[in-house]
Structure 1
Amino acid sequence: MLMLGWMDDEALHRTLTTGRCTYWSRSRREYWVKGDTSGHFQWVKSVALDCDADTVLVKVDQVGAACHTGARTCFDEDVLLKDGGSDAPASDQ
């Protein structure tokens, strides 16, 4: 996973029609397109809904860093649990 971002219906529509990831900034209360200011673009490869249709998974070709810190991903730091341990029960997922 590269990053997590918020999308409302309009952000999703823009993402689907432009082929570039558009997000809703809850703090700035405006839409933003990944790469417009940083140059670190996300070109959409596929978009899928989860089983409840309340979450989307956007697979992208990432150009440059995904994280605002300049890191490839927002999830490399502060790993809370790695590999789940060998005693974890098998999942039916």
Structure 2
Amino acid sequence: MTEFLFFGLQTKSNKPIFSHANLMVFTASWYELLGMKLSGAWRRDADYHDAIHILRQIGDKNRSDTLKKSMSFRNFSPFVDDQTFIKRFDRTWSDAFN
């Protein structure tokens, strides 16, 4: 019997980058990835360093726009309230750009 292990992000993107009979891969925006990282289970080292890298890819041109866009992609589960998300964003932003 064959077993399959799957990890995926449910993206809102409709742009496939790979398609096969049993697999379809879509793009995800940097904002989508950041929202996922900041609202996930927050495994401190892995998610924190990933979030810093993602923020640096987005750039530091418009902090409020980046926060707003990334919040729109928060995970439903585990749920993270606005205050917790913003606190994580603020710390990550500070460490990424200061």
Q: What's the TM-score bracket when you normalise by the shorter of the two chains?
A: under 0.3
The structure richer in strand per residue is 1
Name the TM-score, length of structure 2 as normaliser: 0.24
The structure richer in helix per residue is 2
Q: Per chain length, whose mean CA-contact separation is higher, i.e. which structure has more relative contact order (CA < 8 Å, sep 6+)? A: 2
